[in-house]
Amino acid sequence: MPSLDEKFILYCIKATGTRDNRGRKAENEVLQTELEDFYQKEFQPLLAHAEKHDLRNFTYLLPYLATQMHTGLHNNLKEHFITRLLRFINKTTATYEEGLTTEEVKKERRALKDALFANEPVPQRYMEWAEQHRNAMLPSSWDVSLPYDVKVFPVKYLTHSFYMNSVLEAQGFKLFQPMSMRSNIVPHYITFDTASLINLFADKGSKGAMLKQVKANQEEVWNRLFNLDKRIFRQKNYHFNFTLQTDGVGVSLLFVHRDYNGRKSCPCCATDDSYPFHYVEDLYDEQLESLKGRNIVGADPGKFNLLYLADGKGKKLRYTAFQRRTESLSKRNHRILLNEKARHGVTEKETELSEQNSKTVDYDKFKTYLIAKNKLNQELRSFYEQELYRKMKWRQFVYTQKSEDRFLNKMEEAYGEDAVIAYGDWSRTTQMKHFMPTKGVGLRKLVAKRFQTVSVNEFRTSKLCCRCHDELCHLRVKEDNINKKVFRCLVCNGCASSESKQPVFVTRDLNSAQNIRQLALDWLNERKRPSVFHRTEGLTFTLSREKVGQSVDFTVGKATVS
């Protein structure tokens, strides 16, 4: 398999188009010939048009496109390979676990996964399975650890991804996408730098001389097309990098820090990929003392209520997924898109494409998909090239920022700019079914830019009453002779904080936010966490990063640990 670096991707792009015969010859003429031959014999018959793309004057634009494609391929493997490996194990080992209980299956699979991640012999039960799949789904060795190796050398795991997908396909399971593909044909952003502008707009006869001295001519080139005296080009501590990205509607200007020296080791480009938020238990005494006297606010993150805040004084504030969807115009834009599709008969055409599988690794089946996809692209190109869809995308981006800023302003009005946010440490790295994509850690980073934030372990904060620490249960109402749960409403039967010992009702998120706040205060003032919020069995992670330990499950009348 060829190395999927940016050079190879650039050769592939050039094979799909025509260019002038002038200029330098390809460094690897053998590869260029092979790709052009493959294009003519294998790829061109799948297209809905006979002619190649015109790539003249695109010499300096194509490398940026190759970089985007390279990044997409690598990120796909970095982010998803481990998850896909675990899923492959779960799907293909069932025949070796006959007669085991659910708990025994979990234990056996955990042992198998740990053995694979440690590159050690697998349990006896799975020896036949390992002989069939082990060498094809993982390399024979790796550096440091498997997750680390995937992050550092992602392309090495592409062939293993193809193998796992082929096995899943043969057994009739749902497939994953081993190579990321752009299926959306709405025009996307492209990158223009000084050289590309010279190539496109320079006067006849001067192009060659200007391209030899790009840096010396950049001011002149950009001033000819843009007014660089505009305030937007003057940013504090940053200067314009003579590069922009645009989709024909929205424009992004690229700036670099004035202290940037062009090296990766430059302090201006230092990034920290680790989790940047400290637990309240990890703070030094001096840091804890500095928090005393300030307004401590409990914050419970989630999917329905993205953030629920409570300060213990009756002030409550929440930021919901529905609110974000409405304020960002996402709901409106989705409705407009559906109406336009229905009006132009697009939905019916796209439904026909859904009969093909873009995730298949069967060569002939994938060619069938490409024929259908290219035909559909040709039919719908004029529909998706309308400015309407790019305008909606840009407007949604702007209004999303407005929605987030509005919420942060409400937080400041309610709790003061000096408030300390005790943030629950719940997070989810995968998308939940039937929920629109929402911010998790991203929202927390936004809050942390405006307010001082500390992490609090959420264990049992939703399960125990914020008043008496007794276990809560769901409120159920009899309807049509069926006890139905009231959504997110919990009840503390005979709450110890109630003088009448009558049931006390509380919303799940408010209860959790109050508990999170109180846990932060307990540690701040007494350096301890109430024993009822302690784990009886530590929550740990296996080598495969699967969570092991207690989780909360609400049942009728009583909350139990399972």
What is the pLDDT at residue 242? 95
Share of the chain above pLDDT 70, in %: 91
Per-residue pLDDT of 495-549, as tens digits, reads 777 777 778 888 889 999 999 999 999 999 999 999 899 876 544 445 544 544 4
Its pTM surpasses 0.75 = yes
At 298, list the tokens: 């409990």
The residue from 137, 170, 203 where one domain ends is 170
User: Do the domain assignments include residue 398?
Assistant: no
User: Do the domain assignments include residue 482?
Assistant: yes
Please check whether residues 531 and 455 belong to one and the same domain: yes
Please check whether residues 49 and 103 belong to one and the same domain: yes
User: Do the domain assignments include residue 122?
Assistant: yes
Using alpha carbons only, what angle is made at residue 529 by residues 488 and 295, rounded to the nearest 5 degrees? Answer: 70
Please check whether residues 166 and 230 belong to one and the same domain: no
Please check whether residues 228 and 305 belong to one and the same domain: no
User: Do the domain assignments include residue 105?
Assistant: yes
The residue from 135, 170, 205 where one domain ends is 170
Average pLDDT over residues 554-562: 32
Task: Measure the CA–CA gap between 523 and 526, rounded to whole angstroms.
Answer: 5
The residue from 136, 170, 204 where one domain ends is 170
Under 8 Å CB-to-CB from 497, ≥6 apart: which residues?
A: 465, 467, 468, 504
Per-residue pLDDT of 172-193, as tens digits, reads 999 999 988 888 999 999 999 9
Backbone φ, ψ for residue 256 (5° rounding): -125, 150
Please check whether residues 201 and 131 belong to one and the same domain: no
Please check whether residues 131 and 208 belong to one and the same domain: no
Please check whether residues 205 and 89 belong to one and the same domain: no
Instruction: Write out the residue range of the structural domain in which residue 256 sits.
Output: 190-269
At 167, list the tokens: 């096995």
* CA torsion, ordered 399, 401, 402, 403, to nearest 10 deg: 90
Please check whether residues 231 and 115 belong to one and the same domain: no
Q: Is 237 left (phi over 0), alpha (psi -120 to 50) or beta?
A: left
Q: Is the pLDDT of residue 475 over 90?
A: no
| Burial class of residue 508, CB neighbours in 10 A (0-12, 13-18, 19+) | buried
Higher per-residue pLDDT: 104 or 48: 104
User: Do the domain assignments include residue 339?
Assistant: no
Helix (H) or strand (E) holding 474: strand 473-479
What is the pLDDT at residue 484? 77
Please check whether residues 87 and 139 belong to one and the same domain: yes
Please check whether residues 160 and 244 belong to one and the same domain: no
User: Do the domain assignments include residue 553?
Assistant: yes
At 467, list the tokens: 């008043």
Under 8 Å CB-to-CB from 514, ≥6 apart: which residues?
A: 298, 310, 312, 466
Task: Measure the CA–CA gap between 195 and 130, rounded to whole angstroms.
Answer: 53
Please check whether residues 101 and 57 belong to one and the same domain: yes
Per-residue pLDDT of 130-166, as tens digits, reads 999 999 999 999 989 999 999 999 999 999 999 999 9
User: Do the domain assignments include residue 252?
Assistant: yes
What is the pLDDT at residue 467? 85
Q: Buried b / exposed e across 333-360, counting CB within 10 Å, b at 16+?
A: beeeeeeebeeeebeeeeeebeebebbb
User: Do the domain assignments include residue 369?
Assistant: no
Number of domains in the chain: 3
Q: Is the pLDDT of residue 274 over 60?
A: no
Please check whether residues 30 and 132 belong to one and the same domain: yes
CA atoms within 13 A on the CB side of 226: 18
